[in-house]
Amino acid sequence: MKNINNFLSKTFLVKPKAFSIQMLLAFLLSAYFSYGQRPNDDRVLLQGFYWEAAADNPGNWYNIVGSLSSEISNIGIDMIWLPPPSDAGSLEGYLPRELNNFSNNYGNLSEHTTMLSALNNNGIEPIADIVINHRVGNTNWVDFENPQWNTDAITSGDEVWSQPAYFNTFPRGNNDTGTPYEAARDIDHTQTYVRNSIKQFLNNLKAIGYKGWRYDFVHGFSPSYFTEYNNASNPTYSVGENFNSNKQVVQDWIDASGSNAFDFPTYFTLKSTIRDNNYSYLAFNGQASGGIGWDPRNYTTFVENHDTPRYDTPNNVLNGNNVGQTYAYLLTHPGVPCIYWPHLFDWGATPKQQIIDLVGIRKAAGIHSQSALEIVTAQNGLYAAIVTGNNHRVAVKMGPNSWSPQGNWELVASGNNYAVWKEGSTTPPSTFTVYAYNYQTAYTWNDAQQATSGGWPGASMTDDGDGWYRTTVPGDCTNIIFSNNGSGQTADLVACDDNPYYYQGQFYPNKPNTGGNSITVYHRYRTHAYTWDSSGATSGGWPGTAMESLGNGWYRHTVNNTDCTNVVFSNNGGSQTSDLYTCSNEPYYYNGQWNANPPGSLPSSRTANTVQELHPIANIEPQIYPNPFNQGASVQLVVQQPKANVTVEIMGRTGKGATAFNGTLPKGHHTITLDNETARLKVGLYFCKITVGNDTFIRKIVKQ
């Protein structure tokens, strides 16, 4: 499909840019009139197809992409480059036939627009693959419909004129302004009516939901026409395919067109780096050797696209074991990075997770298209660089040789031949104390699977004399197993500085009452409590004991000879809760959550030693229960205004996140279930970001 004469040569031409006054003026004008190339652009692009996508999924590709739109958005991807949108004479769409017919081999018009709506609704900008250098007719080489063009829309030098003699009777267009393309009719963009119909075609695409353009085979006609088409359609993003390893050629097209371009020089460099294990290729004169070393604002970096596995066979060196390091480069470096669909969705769990983690790191650091790049070293077996984002710096290392940054850095991602660190913007506590009831030994280890308390069963804990034992551990969270010198061990746990007390299978922020006398549980609106422990029911048969009414909707029940209890609340067997568990430090159950203090109105006759005075609703902050959790958890929040925009996001330390809720809620108490998001999380520490109107709350949550 592409002219491959230029890129079969694998030279890495990095000659200095030769600026004349005319070139400088053209550059300044193109920068002024550029479309979609935002200063400090922090967007990430996904190529939303591959060459065989239509063949492998006949008529169903749009449905597949639409169904994954939420997942794509949660990864942190901002734009998606979709296949050619028009009816075509080729399966893949690169021989366009009826430009304004948006049913094609990827799906019909309804499926097409449904996908675009799903993407836009998830905050992803759809980018159309625009093929306007060439075109084919409906029944023969020259009958163009929808829009209708005459034969003068074909350049005079097109090879159709060497075909049967009757073609010589048709009017011809002007000379080609670019590289000819043999498989279809070359289009004459000097014709005003042709350009006007192309502008209408682009605006028709915007009307169904597209936001920007990826221009195919851009050396097929003069770059000035791309400026005209972008002026007429105002895309949010414009990028051209100039398949050339010579970055002077690609840069000249950028300067003349005012559009972004794919960084083929970086592509060739990365592939050769992996092939030769020579990371010196990645630097030239202290700068990145690809296009991003000259003009990072206007380059889109990538490591593979739909064409390269077919055309660039000498450089087919990537596999699931080494592709991670190429994305470590793309997603930590300047430019706008483009992820290839098969690498994310088809190459297995490891490359996918590596890409997801690296996108999160880029977003958390605030790395953008013009982030400052400092190359520390580039040599055989090792590349190291430091990149400055809006939020903090990151360091990246590629290659088999050892290297790490000096100073306050935290390792946030690693894989075969790569590692990424973030510079500490805040210093976590160097140590904290963790407590366990009736456990005397603690074995601890960090996320790198390194023991931090010696060999099993770990360190002996200090006896506080009341059944509690304590030990000091590094960091603000730690992996931990409690035992009694190796016997009666717990499962693998995660302890954090804000939930340091471990008692009967659960961590608590404050020391639980272990007196063993009784626990009084409270519930609002439900009248019966069924309680039990390991030996059986402690409140009679189902539905348990009728609770004491305290007035104003509150009821209470006391369970003797225990500090903790299992309980199900109900209305005499109806409207029952799920199986619950609580201890004496959190006896109040309301709106799906246990609380240490009563979260709703209680009668004024309650004394100060049984309940604290309540704050007004305006001061109630969102709560998460249970925390720590095993699978599911929920957020309890209060909307004070008549209605408010509410979002709930789950984020890891690297910044990657998933949106659990995004919508408008009316005034009152609400429960938002996190089960779908938390079930997919690995054991560890996460953050829950809750936004209610103009207020934002961040909560630590721990999955055990």
State how far the alpha carbon of 281 is from the alpha carbons of 13, 20, 273, 416, in Å: 11, 28, 6, 19
| From 41, 188, 241, 357, active-site residue | 241
DSSP 547: P
Asked if 202 contacts 213 with a C-beta cutoff of 8 angstroms, the reply is: yes
3-state secondary structure 425-485: CCCCCCEEEEEEECCCEEEEECCCCCECCCCCCCEECEECCCCEEEEEEECCEEEEEEEEC
Question: What's the gap between Cα 2 and its chain centre?
Answer: 31
Give the residue from 205, 201, 2 showing the smallest Cα distance to 94. Answer: 2
| From 176, 186, 188, 216, active-site residue | 216
**Residue with tokens 């709930």, as numbered in its chain:** 648
Instruction: Respond yes or no: is residue 216 known to be catalytic.
Output: yes
For residue 28, give both structure tokens.
Answer: 């300044």
**Residue with tokens 């077996």, as numbered in its chain:** 381
User: Can you spell out the DSSP letters for 36-94?
Assistant: S--TT----EEE---TTHHHHSTTTHHHHHHHTHHHHHHHT--EEEEPP-SEESSTTS-
Asked if 501 contacts 508 with a C-beta cutoff of 8 angstroms, the reply is: yes
Q: What angle do CA 168, 174, 180 make, to 5 degrees?
A: 85
Whether the upstream peptide bond of residue 126 has omega within 30° of 0, thus cis, is no
Helix (H) / strand (E) containing 536: strand 536-537
Query: How far is Cα 511 from Cα 445, in angstroms, rounded to an integer?
Result: 24
Beta bridge partner(s), residue 434? 471
State how far the alpha carbon of 147 is from the alpha carbons of 132, 133, 533, in Å: 12, 15, 76
Instruction: Respond yes or no: is residue 241 known to be catalytic.
Output: yes
Radius of gyration of the chain (CA): 32
Identity of residue 14? V
State how far the alpha carbon of 25 is from the alpha carbons of 22, 49, 177, in Å: 5, 38, 22
Question: What's the gap between Cα 620 and its chain centre?
Answer: 31
Catalytic residues: 216, 241
